[in-house]
Structure 1
Amino acid sequence: MAQMPARRLLVTGGAGFIGSAVIRYLINETDHHVVNLDKLTYAGNLESLAAVDGSERYAFERVDICDQAEVDRVFREHHPDLVMHLAAESHVDRSISGPAEFIQTNITGSYVMLEAARQYWSGLEGPAKARFRFHHISTDEVYGDLEGTDDLFTEETPYAPSSPYSASKASSDHLVRAWNRTYRLPVVITNCSNNYGPYQFPEKLIPLVILNAVAGKPLPIYGKGDQIRDWLQVEDHARALVKVALEGRDGETYNIGGHNEKTNLEVVKTLCSILDELRPEHPEGIQRYEELITYVADRPGHDLRYAIDASKIERDLGWTPDETFESGIRKTVEWYLDNAGWVENVASGEYRKWIESNYDKRGG
Structure 2
Amino acid sequence: MQRILVTGGAGFIGSNFVHHVLGRTDASVTVLDKLTYAASRESLDGLPEDRVDLVVGDVADQPLVERLAGEHDAIVHFAAESHNDNSLSEPGPFIQTNLVGTFCVLEAARRHGTRLHHISTDEVYGDLELDDPARFTEATPYNPSSPYSAAKAGSDHLVRAWVRSFGVQATISNCSNNYGPWQHVEKFIPRQITNVLDGGRPKVYGAGTNVRDWIHAEDHSSAVWTILERGRIGETYLIGADGERNNLEVVRMILEHLGRDADDFDLVTDRAGHDLRYAIDSSKLRAELGWTPSFPDFATGLARTIEWYRDHESWWRPGKDATEAAYAAKGQA
Q: Same fold (TM over 0.5)?
A: yes
2:272 paired residue number: 300
Structure 2 contact 252–263 (Cα < 8 Å) conserved: no
1:336 paired residue number: 309
Q: Which of 188, 209, 232 is equivalent to 1:249?
A: 232
Secondary structure, aligned partner of 2:275:
coil
TM-score by length of 2: 0.96
2:109 paired residue number: 117
The amino acid of 2:194's aligned partner reads L
Structure 1 contact 227–305 (Cα < 8 Å) conserved: yes
The amino acid of 2:327's aligned partner reads N
**1:80 has 2:72 as partner:** yes
Secondary structure, aligned partner of 1:303:
coil
Answer with 112-121 or 135-144: which moved more: 112-121
Ranges in structure 1 where 5+ consecutive residues have no aligned partner: 1-5, 122-131, 277-287
Q: Which of 14, 20, 23 is equivalent to 1:19?
A: 14
The amino acid of 1:61's aligned partner reads V
2:189 paired residue number: 206
* CA distance in 2 between partners of 1:20 and 1:157 (Å): 29
Structure 1 contact 38–87 (Cα < 8 Å) conserved: yes
What are the within-5 Å matches in structure 2 for residues 144-183 of structure 1? 144-147=126-129, 148-183=131-166
Q: Paired residues, what number?
A: 331
Secondary structure, aligned partner of 1:314:
helix
Deviation by residue 1:18-71 (Cα, 9 ceiling, x = unmatched): 10011001111111111111110101111111010x331211111101111221
Deviation by residue 1:254-284 (Cα, 9 ceiling, x = unmatched): 00001011001100000000011xxxxxxxx
TM-score by length of 1: 0.88
Structure showing greater Rg = 1
Secondary structure, aligned partner of 2:133:
coil
* CA distance in 2 between partners of 1:248 and 1:141 (Å): 22
1:281 paired residue number: none
1:357, distance to aligned residue in structure 2 (A) = 2.3
Are residues 248 and 325 of structure 1, via their aligned partners in 2, closer, same or farther at CA, if it must alter by over 3 Å?
A: same
CA RMSD between the two structures: 1.4
Secondary structure, aligned partner of 2:173:
strand
Structure 1 contact 275–289 (Cα < 8 Å) conserved: no
* CA distance in 2 between partners of 1:228 and 1:303 (Å): 9
Q: Which of 195, 202, 218 is equivalent to 2:201?
A: 218
1:194 paired residue number: 177
Q: Which of 270, 274, 285 is equivalent to 1:313?
A: 285
1:232 paired residue number: 215
* CA distance in 2 between partners of 1:242 and 1:363 (Å): 37
Structure 2 contact 203–332 (Cα < 8 Å) conserved: no
1:356 paired residue number: 325
Percent of residue pairs bearing the same amino acid type: 49
Structure 2 contact 6–75 (Cα < 8 Å) conserved: yes
* CA distance in 1 between partners of 2:36 and 2:308 (Å): 23
1:97, distance to aligned residue in structure 2 (A) = 0.9
1:198, distance to aligned residue in structure 2 (A) = 1.1
* CA distance in 2 between partners of 1:363 and 1:14 (Å): 30
**1:67 has 2:40 as partner:** no
1:283 paired residue number: none
